[in-house]
Amino acid sequence: MNHEKVAPNDVQTRDVLLGRGGYIYTHSGNVLLRKFLDEQYMGTWIALTVKMAKTNLTRQIVMDLETEGFRFLKWDRPSHEWLVVDQNVVREKIATLLREMARFEPHSLLAHDGAQNRMSDRGNDNGNDNGNQAERDHQADDDDQAERDHQADHADTARSRIASV
C-alpha cells in the first residue's frame, strides 16, 4: 500500500473515497468515477466474456484514472487521515464497481442484449414451427418482462441499501 497520507480537509474533487455510507457514495470523486465508468467503459465491460480480458481492462482503467487525476483513498482510523491505496486495491475496486453497475442497472446494455439475443433466436427456425411460434413468442415476451422486473427489484434493493446507510 502507498503510505501517502491526506488530511481530511485536503480531500479533492477527484478523490474517490473507499468505504461505505451516504457521505462516501455522494462524494464528488465517487460520483465522477461512476459517471466516467458508465460513459467510457460499461459497454466494453459488458461485452467482454473472458476473465483475463476484464482484468486487462481494469488495469487500463486504473492507468486512465491516474491520467485523469483520480486518487483512491481509504480512511485510517488510528491516524485520522486518508491513505492513498495502491493500484491492486484500485483495480479490484474498479472491477467490483463495474460488476455491480452492470448487475443493478435495469437499463444497462446487459438487459437489452439478453432480450435482443432472444429475439434474434426466434427468427432462426425457418418457419418449421408447426404452429408453436406464437406460443414461443409469448413466452419469450414474458421472460423479457420477468427479467426487467427482476433487475428493477435488484436496483430498488441496492438504492434502498445505499439510502439507509
Number of domains in the chain: 2
* Residues pairing with 83 in the sheet: 5, 74
- Output phi, psi for 29, to 5 deg: -65, -40
User: Both 111 and 99 in a single domain?
Assistant: no
- Is the pTM higher than 0.95? no
Q: What is the pLDDT along the chain (165 residues), one digit of tens a residue?
A: 457 988 888 899 999 999 999 999 999 999 999 999 999 999 899 999 999 999 999 999 999 999 999 999 999 999 999 999 999 999 999 999 999 998 876 544 444 444 344 333 434 444 444 444 444 444 555 555 556 665 656 555 555 444 444
Q: For residue 108, give the nearest of 40, 42, 36, 35 by alpha carbon.
A: 42
Residues 68 and 122 in one domain: no
Last residue of a domain, which of 84, 103, 122?
103
> Are 71 and 150 in the same domain?
no
My answer on whether 59 and 31 are in the same domain is yes
Q: Which of 103, 125, 143 is the last residue of a domain?
A: 103
Domain that holds residue 120: 105-165
